[in-house]
Amino acid sequence: MASLVDPAILFFVFGLFAGAVRSNLEIPQPISRFLSLYLLMALGLKGGFALSHSGMNWQVAASLGAAMFLAVAIPVAGYQVLKRMVSPFDAAAVAATYGSVSAVTFITAVQYLDSHQLAYGGHMAAAMALMESPAIIVAVVLANMLRKKSEQTPQQNLSIRHTLHESLTDGAQLLLIGAMVVGLITGDAGKAVMQPFSVDLFKGMLAFFLLDMGLLAARSLPQLRGTPVWMMAYAIAGPLCHAALALGIAYLLHIPAGDAGLLMVLAASASYIAVPAVLRYAIPEAKPSLYFGMSLGITFPLNILFGIPLYMQIAHKVLA
């Protein structure tokens, strides 16, 4: 419960409350977008500065390799489970949503480690970037296979090229990678110059953004009406299983506790911005209210409030 006393988390709780009571409190969309880009840029710079010290080594390679494996294994396994509960197209969309990652959840986890003075590698920001797109690719391939089986129009298969371009050139993802490169090149000199921007402002910006996310999460709950109970259970149990898988891989590869905790957070998170935006046109047969409502209305609040401290404590008990 100590993590709930963190100001940023309390602003998220306040946002949940304000949204639940239908307050007219609202963060303008352009400001919300700016906050998101700021957090990604600051995170990328932090990762780049850290990488300028550590360089590429076995620890970095193991973490990035584990991230890539999880990014493919989770949506593939998720689809096999979910297709027994809902239509195959809905199963592919939900599997993609839960196979991808939430940048805000990851950023909140990084802030948790910083506030508790726990070590982690800056390269984990690169792991987050690597894990965003594979799930989308898997879902599009599955959807095209389903269309072929049902002999639907082959023109829909052409969407995979557009989908791949959108997922791999997404502006937020490019900003994260670009900021990491800038941090890597400039090193300590750049870190000293950017300290007021990337460190001093970070906590306040995160609190403001989590307030907005709390409002959005509360207002997405009505979309879950009529959702099968098994899908509601998956929104809770699925992330826990994904985190356990990440912990097992981290144990086998001797990944340090801080990095393993972040890997668990990434595996347990679900996309609520990038993937749903792509799926709307890539898999129009799926219900947006299902995959968006599950990820934002259930999984995101649970991870922010309880999941992050749980994953971190388990990782440090098992691997420290």
Whole-number pLDDT of residue 134: 87
Per the structure, how many domains does the chain have?
Answer: 1
3-state secondary structure of 123: coil
Helices (H) and strands (E) in the chain, counts: 16, 0
pLDDT tens track for 7-65 = 888 999 999 999 999 999 999 989 988 998 899 899 889 888 888 877 778 888 999 99
Between 45 and 170, residue with greater pLDDT: 45
State the CATH number of the domain containing residue 175.
Answer: 1.20.1530.20
| Contact call for residues 214 and 18 (beta carbons, < 8 A) | yes
Q: How far apart are CA 275 and CA 50, in angstroms?
A: 28
Angle between helices 229-253 and 88-99 (to 10 degrees): 40
130 has pLDDT over 60: yes
DSSP character for 314? H
Single out the residue of 270, 250, 274 nearest to residue 261, CA to CA: 250
Domain that holds residue 11: 2-319
Q: Checking phi first, is residue 301 left (phi over 0); if not, alpha (psi -120 to 50) or beta?
A: alpha
Range with lowest mean pLDDT among 15-24, 50-59, 189-198, 211-220: 50-59
Q: How far apart are CA 275 and CA 98, in angstroms?
A: 9
Q: How far apart are CA 245 and CA 314, in angstroms?
A: 13
Angle at 316 between CA 47 and CA 198, to 5 degrees: 25
Return the percentage of the chain with pLDDT > 90, whole number: 54
As given in the structure block, the two tokens for residue 247 are 């912990």
Q: How far apart are CA 153 and CA 148, in angstroms?
A: 8
> pTM for this one?
0.86
How far lies 206's CA from each of 37, 63, 101, 198, in Å?
A: 11, 25, 18, 11
Whole-number pLDDT of residue 228: 85
Which residues, 6 or more positions from 240, have their beta carbon under 8 angstroms from its beta carbon?
A: 268
